[in-house]
Amino acid sequence: MSQSLAKIYLHIIFSTKNRVPHIQKELRPNAQAYFVEVGANLGSYTEEIFMMPDHIHWLCTLPRTITISDLVKNVKIPTSAKMKTQGIPEFAWQKGYGAFSVSQSKLVTVKKIISKINPIIIPSRIFNLSIECF
């Protein structure tokens, strides 16, 4: 085969630094759109995304030319800078992350789970449950 092909789905979860609830409802649509744009510029297609006040769920593809850690790092840097320009000068993402592979057969299920996240539930509890479930 003269070409390289890959279709790897990831559910990536990480929080704001110290889980401070910086991502308010009114900022969410633009922040999510920018996040998707940055991911696309890196070659990652976003299947689903939802930002809670203190963490993010991102279901995306892993580009075949970069590592998971480089993808996460190269999304965190510009999105953190963008959030600072949106009136949150102290905004930062945590250093760590959780990345879980998602099979093609479970893709629709995970998309539904992420799309139905209710930000009214205590954010830190959801973050802990997210890590435990995946």
Is 3 part of a structural domain of the chain?
Answer: no
Residues 94-131 pLDDT 10s: 999 999 999 999 999 999 999 988 665 545 555 455 54
Collapsing DSSP to helix, strand or coil, 61 comes out as: strand
What is the count of structural domains for the chain? 1
Task: Tell me if 1 is assigned to some domain.
Answer: no
Quote the pTM value.
Answer: 0.86
**2 in a domain, yes or no?**
no
CA 58 vs CA 4, 9, 15, 49, 129: distances in Å: 25, 10, 11, 5, 15
Q: How many angstroms separate the Cα of 8 from the Cα of each of 3, 56, 106?
A: 16, 19, 12
- Domain span holding position 23: 9-133
Classify 124 as helix, strand or coil: helix
Domain membership flag for residue 81: yes
CATH number at residue 105: 3.30.70.1290
